[in-house]
Amino acid sequence: MNTALKSYNPIIKPDILAALQREGVILRQKGRAFWASCPLHSEKTPSFKVDPERQTFYCFGCRRHGDVIAFVMERHGLTFREALTYLGIENSRIDYVQVRKNKERRALIGSFRAWEKERRDELATLLRACRQVIASRKPPLSETELEALALLQGEIDYLEYLYDILCNRDDRDKYELFKEELGYGE
């Protein structure tokens, strides 16, 4: 085995959102990302994007980017080792149990995001089809056709409610819908 690999000693970094909040950065969630006015330079509009899944940041204004360690180094003018100390990271052996848990968590998040996109696309297609059916009906309508259209409108309302959850609500609401639709927790 290569001796360089034996001595490789990765570190477990703190969560970037928690570290930024401790630094006084006010974050606002928009979709999956969090946004703020960049704490690394002066600006009036939020251009500082944080991706909690990748544990990275990027500023569209000053073009600085990286992980939590890079942020602390930039913000406080520290060296890499000083940033590790500042963050309270011990230079210890890797925690393989934690690495496995993180991999499993990322896989679950990936599966959830795939379901979310697929379900949102499916709902959009269903809504378009239902609206086309309603738009194609011309008077005079029989009582049976009116009842069918009323039922279809009720279905449209329900589909719009589900679509709203997937497009505009937070991940907790989306996850509750995910569990409900897939029969978890019953």
Q: Which of 87, 108, 141 is the last residue of a domain?
A: 87
Residue type, 181: E
Number of domains in the chain: 2
Tokens of 185: 């927790």
Pairwise pLDDT comparison (101 vs 5), residue with the higher score: 101
100 and 178, same domain (yes or no): yes
115 and 173, same domain (yes or no): yes
Quickly tell me which residue has 């940033």 as its tokens.
83
135 and 78, same domain (yes or no): no
| Straight-line distance from the first to the last Cα atom of the chain, in angstroms, rounded to the nearest whole number | 50
pTM for this predicted structure: 0.48
CA dist 164 to 53, 96, 133, 161, Å? Answer: 23, 40, 21, 5
Question: Which residue range(s) make up the domain with 129?
Answer: 96-182
Q: Which of 39, 59, 87 is the last residue of a domain?
A: 87
Q: What is the pLDDT of residues 66-102, one digit of tens each?
A: 999 999 999 998 888 888 888 888 655 445 677 678 7
Give yes or no for a contact between 59 and 20, defined as CB atoms under 8 angstroms apart: no
Q: Which of 34, 65, 87 is the last residue of a domain?
A: 87
